[in-house]
Structure 1
Amino acid sequence: MSSISSLTSSSSSSSSSSSTQSIYNGHIFGLASGLDVDSIVSGLTTDVQGEIDKADQQKQTLQWKQTDYQAVVTALNTFNSTYLALSGSSSLTANNALQTYTASSDNAAVTAVAQQGASGTASSITVYQNAAVASISSSTASQTVAGLASAAPTSASSLSALENDGFTLTVDGTSETIKLTAAQVSGITDTSSLISALQSNINSAFGWSSDTSATNSAKVVLSQDSTSGEVVFSAGTYTGGSGSVAYGTSFTVSGISSTDSSGNPTSDTSGLYALLGTSSSQSNWLNRNLTVAQVLAQNENVTLDSSAKYNVTINGQTVALNGSDSIFTALSKINSANTGATLSYSSTTGAITASATSPGGAHNFSLGTGAALSSTPSSGDDISTAFLEALGFSGSQASGQSTSALASQNDSSGKPLATAGQDAVFSIDGGTTRMTRSSNSFTLDNVNYTINGSVSGSSPQTANISFTQDTSTAVKNIQNFVTAYNTLLSTITTYTNTKPDSDYQPLTDAQKADMSDTQISDWNAKASAGVLFNDDTLNDLENELRDMVNQSVTTSDGTTISLADLGIRESTDDTGTDDTTPGQLVFDNGSTDTLVSMLQSHPQEVQDLFTMQSSTPYVINDTQTVKSGNVTENRQTYRKNAEGLAYRLQDIVSDFTQTGSTPGVQGKLVSLLGDSGDGDQLNSIYDQITDVNNQITDLNQKMTDKKNALYAKFSTLESFMAQMNSQSGILSSLSGSSSGS
């Protein structure tokens, strides 16, 4: 009995210690048995945990490989987009990348810029006509500012109320207060005399032209509307030797108020306030926040239904506008309709200009139809004439005539109603053949010409173009290319040459639990290094790149040239260089002298070395063959032989990085990386990681099943031990009772 008692005592003592108690799936273990069940189960499942840790480490290694492969893909694509692609910021294939000449013109009417491949031969260009964009400009898209009353006050009391009344008039940014003096008020007997008095004050404040009458030449003119009788403000005109023209004046009337004889505001609204309008500002320039219906009612006396749709014709095409559309919205709808013309508003001049969307004589256009419009058009009607005239275009400009026809017609000031679209016309080297281009900027024989300003046939402009040899741009771009190539190669060889350290394996979760974040980061940096050591795919990439830069190119004139001819070699060559970085490109003796000499003596051959192109299309994994003479070869080999180094490099980059939805069109590295949509690529890293994840899932389930089984057994043991402890306690109690009796 002592052994049971001893066991009970031991159990009791153990159960009081929290170190031997554990909870699993809601059950408490160790209370009865005193056993550290968690430690026992952990020891009994080390085999499965070892399998899980191994799978986790395998997954981590694959993820590191995935990251490193992706870094190489990014490096290749960056190298391609920067130094090889036509649009690259430092591309050798760009027009001016290997430029060896600087062009200059002796006439400011023509600018010349030498492009890659320019011969450097002096030439001349005679321009007979510049290209022009067809356009129609409105007069200032303005409106009058109307008052309220139809006639001036005539009673003594109402006349006296005008004294010291004033308003603020802002003309082209300058503001002045316009007031009537007592002497002026005494001479007012009707609307006409009121207008004369106010006009005199406006003229005194803002001035007028001296070569015509004060009223007609004032910047702002007051008049009485013959229909409504209202006093209205409008922009003045100037009558001079060239006819009557609008000032284009911008003005705002605001702050109309009543004041007493001391100039203090009063509540009296019988004076100018009642006559001219409210205190809110009113401007004569087009308010683009107003709706189409409002502008046509105000400027053209045309009434539209704000809820209806109407048509406007631009270049023969109709654009639907709502009566409720603001002028902003209306212009936006027109400009989005692809009519061949756009309308833009100038906040500087207040005018609207319609312009062709493309330059040249083939792109003249028209506005409107010229059709008459009733004062109350119906929904769906064409309101072009009224709409365009409300924007400041004349009836002729809105008549549907082409800009080419309007260009020969003048307004009252003698100014053409439009600018016709026209092509540039020129000849080269004094030739009799006249050439045309739709733009003022064009390229001939690798020289870009720009015609500046207006040139007409009556005054043709001849420019002599000379060339100065300049190799600095080409040298700089080739040096940058060499540096970038070396950086790319170094990125690749760093991965393939770094040996893994067997002392540093991916950490398990248990190991990470005993380490700080810094320690984990430092460990991972060492453990991840070398995962691509001696990698076959990267070795192939390195070999292809190094083989390519050692190849020669047959130029357009049949000359064979290579980088070595430019004084550029691999560091493994016997050039006296320090061979610490095999495969890196170096300049002979660290000098660009040979390169400069070749650019000066054989500029076209140097350009061909990099920029020769093949007409054979690039096709990845191409199996087709072509016959060249008596030789049958792979089509991509044939393509490569016709290419310069820049395009051969592009093909190599594509061989490794091209993307696609099917394995057959993917580059080698992209195929190796894999993705969720790449089909059956059982050797891709994506698929390998997927397989390992499935293994980990299965192993975790295996661990769960094994733990459940073990804890079930210990649960049975706990129940048995609890029962034994209970029986032991009863026996001990009985034994004590017996001894007492």
Structure 2
Amino acid sequence: MPMRITGMSSGMDIDKIVSDLMKAERMPQVKLKQQKDLLNYQTSLYREINTKVSSLREALNAMRFSSGLTGTKATSSSGDISVSMNGSSSKSSYSLEVIALATNASISGGENVSNFGLMGNPYSDATIVQGVNDQMIVTLDNQAKAIKIPAGTYTVDEMKGALQTAINSQFGSNKVQVGIDGGNRLTLDPITSSGKKPQITVKEMNGALSALGFTDGQSYRLDVNMKLSDLAQSSNLNYNQPLQVPGEFKVNGVSITYDENSTIQSIMTKVNSSSANVNMSYDSVNNKFVFKSRQTGSTSELKLESVSGNFLEAIKVADGTANGTDAIVKIDNEEKTFSSNNFNYDGMSIQLNKVTSEAVTINVAADPDAVVDKVKKFVSSYNDLIELVNTRLGETRDRNYSPLTDDQRSAMNESDIATWESKVKIGLLHNSSILKNIKSSLRELLSKEVDGIADEFNTLSEVGITTAPYVRGDIKNAGKIVIDEAKLKNAISQNPEAVNALFTNNPGFESQEGIAVTMYKRVDNIMGSLIKEAGRIDGATNDVSTVIGKKVFDLESRIMSMNAILNKKEDNYYKRFSVMEKAIANGNAQMNWLAQQLG
């Protein structure tokens, strides 16, 4: 906008005059903006309705399939087998005996893939000073002890004896053996008991580790994040041959390559993220590597093959092929095999947890509570929607509240703006045909008779779900539904299949469709009509593919077009006042000249 210097000759506040004139000129545009605001408010109100419709749709989706509304539950007599219902079962009791669990195809490496003990760097005579470098921490099987070495200067043999005495004083004898290898290095070897391999780790405390030649955090367990080039030079890997890099091996025919900068962790990641469908892991407890197929069963296969290099050999894993095994289960004394320990059988989902020592009994019984809980969620979602629809239909507009103009908004605080806008929204959906259709189309289904079901179970009212009595003046709650839980549970106990069919029957004929099936379809259509009218819940408000969005877009176009016209008018006003200012300036100049001539 050009800089304007006005009122110099006339003394008039030209900016104020033009501003007031433009307020009048902008009134048509202000009206358009207010229309746009009203449409945006309508959009938000329709989308609020759609949120409730979406919740009802989710509740119906959870109960429109027979597997989700069985009305039965399965229980196991033993934790060795877990069971749940996912459909209808043909019997009320089963006997299961797990002979064998399904296994993965697996190839395990040899144990002690890393050196069992710890080896320090070459030792030179060390001077231990009390409080300066006389302590370190040794952890043996998660038991940590502070090891203190008496002050003095020690040869390697003397240090071996002093360290052995200090460790024995904390852990007892025959727990850790202190030794010296041929390279003048101190070693710490945990002593096994009953075949158990204790973990040993050393940590720095005040400098003793450095004096002894060990490093902070050193452990005999393999460091899987060490580069292969560094691992080959360390004493960590229990392999006496040079580590050949680069190299390659195959897992189920998938090539896995590595080089000197690879780590064991990066190699494991390659295997696990490949299409081989195999997991490679390091068992730090047993100090070995394991390759295992992701699937169980006799059809699962694992094949390892070295191509070049000696990585597999270095981690003590041999080439070979392995297959998984199937689960073997006796069900009612009939032996069956399954490729997984988790399988479906006669409407049940069965999880085998361990081989059983005796037959386990699976009982299937009516479970009214599970059905009632889902019906409650449906009723709650339905009533929330109906209450909001009733509220919006019953509201009437207060014409004293119109969308705020920019000037009005700038003069108010946020709280007052929010209060004002909430009053503007009231009544914007009054008598909405879409909301009326929601009420009528859903209410109609509450009294539907489902053909093909016994008369005492073929309507919602027969199983305890009815419309709440009308209360004069209570518009908000009109049309809500209530549950007689005792009657519903009794119906489920008497005939769970009929109650299931009342909600989930879906033979392809609408007269025989269950209530949840038909209502789900109608709710889906309702969501479609709301989206067509006002767009998706998180969509743009000027989406031209929606009814309201197209109107908003058209108004925005008109508002933008008017901006150019209004700017031109404003410039014209300033030009006319500029002409006036020049005329006044010229008149003043002439008056001054005449005054000088007569003076």
TM-score range, shorter chain: 0.7 to 0.9
Decide whether aligned partners of structure 1 residues 136 and 75 sit closer, same or farther in structure 2, where only a CA change above 3 A counts. same
- Secondary structure of residue in 1 paired with 2:574: helix
TM-score (normalizing by structure 1): 0.68
How big is the alpha-carbon RMSD for the aligned residues of Structure 1 and Structure 2? 4.4
Decide whether aligned partners of structure 1 residues 540 and 296 sit closer, same or farther in structure 2, where only a CA change above 3 A counts. same
Equivalent position amino acid for 1:730 in 2: W
Matched, 1:361 2:298: yes
Matched, 1:428 2:331: yes
1:698-737 residue CA offsets vs partner (Å, 9 max, x unmatched): 22222222232233222212211221122223323433x2
- Secondary structure of residue in 1 paired with 2:359: strand
- Secondary structure of residue in 2 paired with 1:553: coil
In structure 2, the partner of 1:373 is: none
Equivalent position amino acid for 2:92 in 1: T
TM-score (normalizing by structure 2): 0.82
Matched, 1:520 2:497: no
In structure 2, the partner of 1:671 is: 532
Could you tell me how far apart the structure 1 residues matched to 2:90 and 2:449 are? 24
Decide whether aligned partners of structure 1 residues 386 and 539 sit closer, same or farther in structure 2, where only a CA change above 3 A counts. same
In structure 2, the partner of 1:374 is: none
Equivalent position amino acid for 1:103 in 2: A
Matched, 1:646 2:516: yes
For 1:260-271, list aligned pairs within 5 A. Answer: none
In structure 1, the partner of 2:280 is: 343
Deviation for aligned residue 1:223: 7.3
Deviation for aligned residue 1:55: 0.6
In structure 1, the partner of 2:131 is: none
In structure 1, the partner of 2:314 is: 387
Equivalent position amino acid for 2:55 in 1: T
Decide whether aligned partners of structure 1 residues 709 and 309 sit closer, same or farther in structure 2, where only a CA change above 3 A counts. same
For 1:388-407, list aligned pairs within 5 A. Answer: 388-389=315-316, 398-404=317-323
Matched, 1:117 2:88: yes
- Cα pair 2:256 2:267 within 8 Å, conserved: no
- Cα pair 1:314 1:367 within 8 Å, conserved: yes
Could you tell me how far apart the structure 1 residues matched to 2:329 and 2:467 are? 50
Deviation for aligned residue 1:51: 0.7
1:158-215 residue CA offsets vs partner (Å, 9 max, x unmatched): 9999xxx999765333547598999x99xx9xx9x9999988997787567xxxxx8x
- Secondary structure of residue in 2 paired with 1:696: helix
In structure 2, the partner of 1:290 is: 226
Could you tell me how far apart the structure 2 residues matched to 1:669 and 1:580 are? 21
- Cα pair 1:344 1:354 within 8 Å, conserved: yes
- Cα pair 1:132 1:422 within 8 Å, conserved: yes
Could you tell me how far apart the structure 1 residues matched to 2:120 and 2:17 are? 101
Could you tell me how far apart the structure 2 residues matched to 1:581 and 1:425 are? 57
For 1:11-50, list aligned pairs within 5 A. Answer: 25-35=2-12, 37-38=14-15, 40-41=17-18, 45=22, 48-50=25-27
1:135-169 residue CA offsets vs partner (Å, 9 max, x unmatched): 4444244314345669xx9xxxx9999xxx99976
For 1:1-400, list aligned pairs within 5 A. Answer: 25-35=2-12, 37-38=14-15, 40-41=17-18, 45=22, 48-81=25-58, 83-85=59-61, 91-93=62-64, 98-115=69-86, 117-118=88-89, 121-138=92-109, 139-143=111-115, 144-146=117-119, 170-172=139-141, 173-175=143-145, 177=147, 220=177, 222=179, 224=181, 233-237=188-192, 245=195, 247-252=196-201, 277=213, 282-296=218-232, 298=235, 299-304=238-243, 309-369=246-306, 381-389=308-316, 398-400=317-319
In structure 1, the partner of 2:360 is: 463
1:602-658 residue CA offsets vs partner (Å, 9 max, x unmatched): 2112122223346xxxxxxxxxxxxxxxxxxxxxxx56556433333332333243x
- Secondary structure of residue in 2 paired with 1:33: coil
Deviation for aligned residue 1:560: 7.0
- Cα pair 1:291 1:324 within 8 Å, conserved: yes
Could you tell me how far apart the structure 2 residues matched to 1:499 and 1:691 are? 27
Deviation for aligned residue 1:311: 1.2
Decide whether aligned partners of structure 1 residues 204 and 41 sit closer, same or farther in structure 2, where only a CA change above 3 A counts. closer
Could you tell me how far apart the structure 2 residues matched to 1:578 and 1:481 are? 22
Could you tell me how far apart the structure 1 residues matched to 2:37 and 2:490 are? 53
Decide whether aligned partners of structure 1 residues 493 and 302 sit closer, same or farther in structure 2, where only a CA change above 3 A counts. farther
Equivalent position amino acid for 1:399 in 2: A
Could you tell me how far apart the structure 2 residues matched to 1:653 and 1:549 are? 14
- Cα pair 2:176 2:188 within 8 Å, conserved: no
- Cα pair 1:256 1:277 within 8 Å, conserved: no
Deviation for aligned residue 1:533: 1.3
Could you tell me how far apart the structure 2 residues matched to 1:52 and 1:366 are? 76
In structure 2, the partner of 1:563 is: 460
In structure 2, the partner of 1:477 is: 374
Could you tell me how far apart the structure 2 residues matched to 1:489 and 1:286 are? 64
For 1:570-649, list aligned pairs within 5 A. Answer: 570-571=467-468, 581-587=477-483, 591-613=484-506, 640-641=510-511, 643-649=513-519
Deviation for aligned residue 1:235: 4.8
Number of aligned residue pairs: 584
Could you tell me how far apart the structure 2 residues matched to 1:719 and 1:273 are? 94
Name the stretch that deviates more: 48-57 or 509-518. Answer: 509-518
In structure 2, the partner of 1:417 is: none
In structure 2, the partner of 1:711 is: 574
Deviation for aligned residue 1:107: 4.2
Could you tell me how far apart the structure 2 residues matched to 1:511 and 1:256 are? 70
1:92-137 residue CA offsets vs partner (Å, 9 max, x unmatched): 3588864534433334433333445345622322332222334444
Decide whether aligned partners of structure 1 residues 596 and 174 sit closer, same or farther in structure 2, where only a CA change above 3 A counts. closer
Matched, 1:693 2:586: no
Deviation for aligned residue 1:503: 2.2
- Secondary structure of residue in 1 paired with 2:479: coil
Could you tell me how far apart the structure 2 residues matched to 1:200 and 1:34 are? 105
Deviation for aligned residue 1:531: 1.2
Deviation for aligned residue 1:486: 0.6
Equivalent position amino acid for 2:349 in 1: N
Decide whether aligned partners of structure 1 residues 728 and 257 sit closer, same or farther in structure 2, where only a CA change above 3 A counts. closer
Decide whether aligned partners of structure 1 residues 539 and 169 sit closer, same or farther in structure 2, where only a CA change above 3 A counts. closer
Decide whether aligned partners of structure 1 residues 556 and 329 sit closer, same or farther in structure 2, where only a CA change above 3 A counts. farther
Deviation for aligned residue 1:482: 0.7
Match of 2:401 among 504, 509, 525: 504
In structure 2, the partner of 1:622 is: none
Could you tell me how far apart the structure 2 residues matched to 1:679 and 1:169 are? 68
Equivalent position amino acid for 2:197 in 1: G
Decide whether aligned partners of structure 1 residues 547 and 232 sit closer, same or farther in structure 2, where only a CA change above 3 A counts. same
Could you tell me how far apart the structure 2 residues matched to 1:578 and 1:714 are? 63
- Cα pair 1:140 1:248 within 8 Å, conserved: no
- Cα pair 2:391 2:475 within 8 Å, conserved: no
Q: Percent identity over the alignment?
A: 24
Decide whether aligned partners of structure 1 residues 719 and 107 sit closer, same or farther in structure 2, where only a CA change above 3 A counts. closer
Unaligned runs of 5+ in 1: 1-23, 86-90, 209-213, 259-264, 266-271, 370-379, 390-397, 405-420, 615-637, 658-666
Matched, 1:450 2:351: yes
Name the stretch that deviates more: 708-717 or 340-349. Answer: 340-349
Could you tell me how far apart the structure 2 residues matched to 1:45 and 1:253 are? 83
Decide whether aligned partners of structure 1 residues 579 and 562 sit closer, same or farther in structure 2, where only a CA change above 3 A counts. farther
- Cα pair 1:167 1:177 within 8 Å, conserved: yes
- Cα pair 2:178 2:186 within 8 Å, conserved: no
Deviation for aligned residue 1:65: 1.0
Could you tell me how far apart the structure 1 residues matched to 2:16 and 2:331 are? 95
- Secondary structure of residue in 2 paired with 1:362: coil
Matched, 1:529 2:422: no
Equivalent position amino acid for 1:84 in 2: L
Equivalent position amino acid for 1:671 in 2: K
- Secondary structure of residue in 2 paired with 1:313: strand
Could you tell me how far apart the structure 1 residues matched to 2:127 and 2:384 are? 90
Point out which structure has higher relative CO (alpha carbons under 8 A, 6+ apart).
2
Equivalent position amino acid for 2:561 in 1: D
Deviation for aligned residue 1:425: 1.8
Could you tell me how far apart the structure 1 residues matched to 2:289 and 2:66 are? 38
Could you tell me how far apart the structure 2 residues matched to 1:25 and 1:449 are? 80
